[in-house]
Every structure is written in C-alpha cells, then in structure tokens.
Amino acid sequence: MSTVPEIKHWPVGDLVRSIVVPIISFILFFVWIYVLVESPLPKILIFPSISIVIVLFYFFSGYVFAGILLCFISIVAVLAQFITPYELSRMLFIVQAVVLWSIFLCIDRYRIFGKNQFDHSAEEIEELESKIAFMENSAMETRHACDDFKQRISNYQLLGRMIEKFGVSLNKEKIIALVVEMAEKIIRRGEWTVIQGVQKDIFARWIKDHGIPLVIANIAYDSRFYVQQSVGASLVALPLNVDGHYWGILKGTAEEADVFSENDVRLLSLLGGIASQMLSNSRLYQISLDLAITDELTGLFVQSYFKERLHGEILRSKNSLFSLSAAIIDVDNFKTFNDTYGHAGGDVVLRHIAVLIRERLRETDFVCRYGGEEFAVIMVQTCRDDAIAIIEKVRHAVEIEQFFLPMEGFKPEFVNITVSAGVAVLSDAINGAEDLIGAADAALYRAKANGRNRVEIYE
C-alpha cells in the first residue's frame, strides 16, 4: 500500500521572503539594466538606484540573496568598463560598485554584530531563566522544608500536650485512649488501636518475638504473614514496653498500600516511648494503691479502705432501702496463742483464717483485716437472720479446721482455733458507719463474755 507524501505547509512570511521578494527583486534588477542601457539619462546617475533594491532585498530575504544580486551588479560595473567611452565614468562605476559593497558589508557587519548581541542576550536570558528556575526550585524546596519543619513542630507540640495530659491521669484506660488519639493526630492517616498482650494478633506476636517496629507496604504480598480476614492493605506497629518487658503494641492500618513511612515510625517511636513510660507509671501507681489498701500479711483490705467502703454502702442502702449488715470477727485467746507459738505461728493462723473467711463469704460481701487479730465484714442486701447464718458458717469453718504450724527445730504441730463474732444491722437507731461498727463491736464483746466461739447479734 502506497503512502501519501506529507505536504509541507510553508508560513506566508517565509513564502514571501523566499520566493516572491527574490522574483520581484530580479525583475527590478533586469528593469534596472534595461533603464541603464536604454535611458538617455547619464548612466552614472542610474547606477546607484539599484542600492535601494539591494537594501530592501537584504532586509526582506537575507544577505545571501542580496549578496548574489550585488555580485550581478558588480559584473555590470565591470562590463561597463568596456562599453563606457569616458575614463571618469568607468572609474565612477567602479567606485559606485565599491560603495555598494561597502554598504552591504557594513550592513552585514551590523547584522552579525546584532546577531551576536542577540545570541549573547539570549544566552544571558537563558542563564537568567535557568537561575530563576533554580531559585524557584530552591524556594519550593525551602517551602517544603518549612512545611515539614512546621509539621514537626506541630507534632512535637502535640506530644508536649500529650505529656501534659498524661501527667494528670494515671488510669490505664485513659492513657490508652490518649495514645490512640495522639497517633491519629500525628500521623493523620489510618485507623489506630492499642493491643495489650498478644490477643491472637499475628502482628503483636511477631513484634513480641522480634522486639522491633513493623512496617508493611502491602500485607497481601508479605510472605511473613498469612491473614484470612481483611486487615487493610498497609500496616505499621511498634512495641509498647513496661519496665523493660513487652506489654503490647500500638497498631495502625489503612486500606490503601504504601501509606506509612519510616518517618511515621520515628514519630510513633517517640509517642510509644512516652506511652510506655506512662503505662509503667500507671502500673506503679496501681501497685501503690493496692499496697495502700491491702494488708500485706493476709491480702485483705485494710481498715481505712473498709471504712471508706462502708460509708458508700450505707448511702446506697439508704437510697435503695435494702438491708445492710456488718460483722466483726476476733480470734479467741490470740495473745496466749502468740505467747505459746510465737508471732510466726500467729501469722500462719491469721493468713489461714483470712482464706477461710473469703471462701465462706459471697461475692458481694466485703472483708478486711480490721486490726491485729480482728476481721470486719460488710454484707450488702443482707437482713439480720442471713447475716447471722453467713457469719456462723465462718465460725464453724474455723472451729473444725486444723491449723498446721511448721515449727522450726521442732516437730510440726496441728492446733485448733476458734473465733467469736458480733453482727449488727443498719436501722433507724444505727444509721451511720461509726454506729454500725460500734454496734458490731458491742455484740462481739458480748460473745466474748458469753464464753467465746459464738456469734452474737446487736439487739
């Protein structure tokens, strides 16, 4: 199949300069020759008129065509030497031809000079444009750097505010919620969660085993993990350590691939370090709270926390109109026991009795070590008869129990222990915490006076 040749479209200006002007110029040239030969006017006057055509030809069609035309005129000047009878005229023809060449060369020199100036200016303009482009790129990079710097400042300010918020809260749940909130604000991409422990999360398991952050561009193409359900396309996670040990992870996921970068990991590492410290502080705070309200020997709550709890239960009982009972349990003849078996033996008995009491009480009941060999119990929604039955079960369990005393240097010994208890019920006459404790204590005193190893109710 033959191809159609491409038709070249010439601009009108180029067409005029390349074809029309040369044709007109050469027509004028031949007209000039005819006039030069046939005109009765002196030829020496007609000859210079061709300079107008040369100049116009030069500026319209260029120096090549003008030079060719000037060569023809020079030939005419040379031929005029043979057809002109006057010596002066022949010399004038030569002089005029030289003048025309001088004019042509001057004009061409200025053309070359102008071209060089133009080229030099073009080079300077190009260099300036290059410098402007370089400065624009530098300005753009500076703007990007400023934006990045502003973003970093904003992130660090967020971290500072987060530290301030952490400072007013030692609650673990609040700290976790704050960590998630800060991750969303700092990274501004993805969905964020905090996972304590492993919780069947394969990424948490991997981080616990390796102890380093994890960045995945596309989970579907990561051979380390096989995920059945959708967890997003990209993921970032880093460990949270408490007291140097793995505690959990901070994890972010996104539906798109290649969402998270190494810069995100650096920011999250700062956040994770602060969060780890705050979680460690929360843990120490909780331990201190436990130590403050828990008896070291028996593991039961202490008297101060018991009284605080009793005030709250009395308010709830009055508002809900439910019964509330309290009891005080005391180990019989405990001073004599300590004198016989020593304080170490006494500690064994107290720990054992604490276990027996906890095992016989209900989940809703509250027990504490009230002091020395005394224990106190709060029984919510419990009437008089039910309270007596519960405490009687405790008394009976202690009575039938054999307490094993490992004696250092002697043969281990089993002993029997009994307890006495006083019970009181919240009523119109007994309507405060101090009154309720005092009534139970009075009932306990009566149980001791009536022979011990018994439960008495305050009447």
CA 384 – CA 288 distance, rounded (Å): 37
Q: 57 with 28: CB under 8 angstroms?
A: no
CA atoms within 13 A on the CB side of 2: 2
Phi, psi (deg, nearest 5) at residue 35: -65, -40
455-457 vs 419-425, strand pairing mode: parallel
Instruction: Report how far apart, in Å, the C-alpha atoms of 432 and of each of 90, 233, 298, 387, 459 are.
Output: 147, 62, 27, 18, 16
Query: Alpha helices, DSSP H only, in 241-298?
Result: 262-293
324-331 vs 374-380, strand pairing mode: antiparallel
Q: 303 with 369: CB under 8 angstroms?
A: yes
Task: Identify the active-site residue in 373, 374, 399, 413.
Answer: 373
The residue with tokens 């780890």 is 276
- The angle at the Cα of 396, spanning 391 to 398, to the nearest 5 degrees, equals 100
Neighbours of 279 (CB within 10 A): 24
Q: 424 with 446: CB under 8 angstroms?
A: no
CB-based burial, 72-98: b 16+ in 10 Å, e otherwise: ebbebbeebeeebeeeebbebbeebbe
- Does the annotation mark 373 as catalytic? yes
Neighbours of 355 (CB within 10 A): 14
Q: Is the dihedral of CA 8, 13, 14, 15 positive or negative?
A: positive
Report the candidate in 309, 215, 216, 317 with the shortest Cα–Cα distance to residue 269.
215
Instruction: Report how far apart, in Å, the C-alpha atoms of 12 and of each of 7, 9, 57, 58 are.
Output: 15, 9, 17, 18
Kindly state the helix (H) or strand (E) to which residue 414 belongs, with its residue range.
Answer: strand 413-416
Q: 63 with 108: CB under 8 angstroms?
A: yes
CA 91 – CA 44 distance, rounded (Å): 10
Q: Which residues are catalytic?
A: 373
